Structure 1
Amino acid sequence: MRTRRLMLKSAAEVFDRDDYASARLFDISARANMSTGALHFHFANKEDLAQAVVHEARGTLWRAARLAYEKNSEPLQALTDISHTLGRLLTWDVVSRAGLRLDNDRSRKGREQFIQAWHACVKRLLDRARQEGRLAAHVQSQAMTCAIVAATTGICVLIKGGEGDRIRMAFTGFWQGFLPGLAAPDVLGGLNPGGTDEVVDYAVTASRYLPYDPEDAVGTKVAASEVR
């Protein structure tokens, strides 16, 4: 297990630095301080290794999203907190960051599964906000979902390591501009575009230490319907 995690981290660091097309197995094995033959013992080729990085990243990101969701009963604040949680995690964890980029790499097949899950999460939270009277009357959920997914995914894909403060500022600025047109007037004053610190801190930290079952990426049926 330790050897495999070392390989995944080394691969993620190379994919994060060079992108998928430019990354070489020789560079990945050298970074892990092992032979290319030893790497091939665990992974058949570069795509096999990339899929493993993406799988690990999806698990961590899904866990983090679930935890942020479960800690907040207000759907619009939950949506805001999830985005800040993902942004923080991506600046901190190279495997999550490289995996998300690989998942959106047009040169690979079977991609964009996380962005599809994020789209479903945003849609369901907005639908819930609508049912609870939290949305402004003029909001069209489908259009708003597309806008939020496009903007937040764009920020996430551009994240680099060690940019925590800048990324938090980017998400805060986005929600400062977006929430006034999204939330009902009597709800807006109770929302924090900067995210709820204790929720984000908890979700980022705990997401790395929970078991991940690919068949139940977010733990409970309720959470799965929101995050997948």
Structure 2
Amino acid sequence: MGLQQERAIRTRRLMLKSAAEVFDREDYASARLSDISARANMSTGALHFHFANKEELAQAVVSEARGTLWLAARSAYERTPEPLQALTDVSHTLSQLLCWDVVSRSGLRLDNDRSRRGRERFLHGWHASVRRLLERARQEGSLAKQVHLQAVTCAIVAATTGIGVLIKGGEAERTRLAFTGFWQGFLPGLAVPELLGRLNPGGTDEVVEYAVAVSRYLPFAPDETVGPERTASGVG
């Protein structure tokens, strides 16, 4: 990678991180490009050179957030063979990532902001992933017979996304407790009795820690360094 290309990548990342910090502090409607450019220590004209308007900048933040979140989710998913535990571990992984990564946190909120067009892309992907894991659990005989797939999928997506949107930076312990409480109440209605005692509603520590640690090598980790660009696909 040439020096000029590396500088351009660092500049873009700085813009996106600065935008995420402003969107995280304000909201989409209240955030101003002048505040974002000031946060990035550059002129508004320089910002416009890369992004035509606020919506284009918001879309870029959402795109980066989705890539980071899905890579973390995939890392957790691949290390948990039991589908209901995988679903639990993935939710804990995403929640911890939202606590420390402002781009992921801001991107999720922007994706759910009703004042924007083209939103809820992460929500749709998460819905599909939850449904696939529940279908796998049914095929493997670990899902209770009375579970209605569509109803339970909607309930899990609504609850986990709702908690996720409310997450603030530096709330990792509190967030872990919130998701643990959710799964403590929800898993008994999902799992067959013989499996329930083997499920951990608090998430599998080594799985969650690994998946979050992997994400620290992405562009917006707290100790950001320039490295290869990474991409991620959806879970499942």
Match of 2:213 among 205, 208, 214: 205
Letter in 2 for 1:73: P
Does 1:165 find its partner at 2:183? no
Runs of 4+ in 1 over 2 A off after TM superposition: 207-213
CA distance in 2, matches of 1:53, 1:205: 21
Identity of aligned residues (%): 78
Write the distance in 2 (CA, Å) between the matches of 1:198 and 1:38.
43
CA contact (8 A) 2:77 2:235 kept: no
2:123 and 2:59 map into 1 onto residues whose CA distance is: 16
Secondary structure, aligned partner of 2:27: helix
Q: Which residue type is aligned with residue 160 of structure 2?
A: T
**Distance apart, 1:208 and its partner CA:** 4.1
Deviation, structure 1 residue 209: 3.0
What's 2:223 paired with?
none
**How many angstroms apart in 2 are the aligned matches of 1:90 and 1:195?**
16
TM-score, normalization by structure 2: 0.90
Aligned counterparts of 1:212 and 1:150: Cα–Cα separation in 2: 28
Q: Which of these residues, 62, 66, 75, is aligned with residue 74 of structure 2?
A: 66
Aligned 8 A contact 2:20 2:103 in 1:
yes
State how many pairs are aligned: 218
Report whether the alignment pairs 1:109 with 2:127: no
Q: Deviations over 1:43-85 (max 9, x none)?
A: 1111111011000000000101111100100000000000000
For the 8 Å contact 1:29–1:39, the answer to whether it is kept is yes
Counterpart amino acid of 1:212?
Answer: R
Matched AA of 2:66: R
Q: CA deviation at 1:212?
A: 3.0
RMSD, aligned CA: 1.1
Q: Partner of 2:26 in structure 1?
A: 18
Unaligned runs of 5+ in 2: 1-8, 219-228
Q: Does 1:130 align with 2:148?
A: no
Offset, 1:205: 1.5
Is residue 2:185 matched to residue 1:185?
A: no
Secondary structure at the aligned position of 1:41 is classed as: helix
Which is helix-richer, 1 or 2?
1
- Letter in structure 2 aligned against 1:193: P
Give the secondary structure class of the aligned counterpart of 1:51.
Answer: helix
- Rate the CA distance shift 1:155–1:225 in 2: closer, same or farther, 3 A: closer
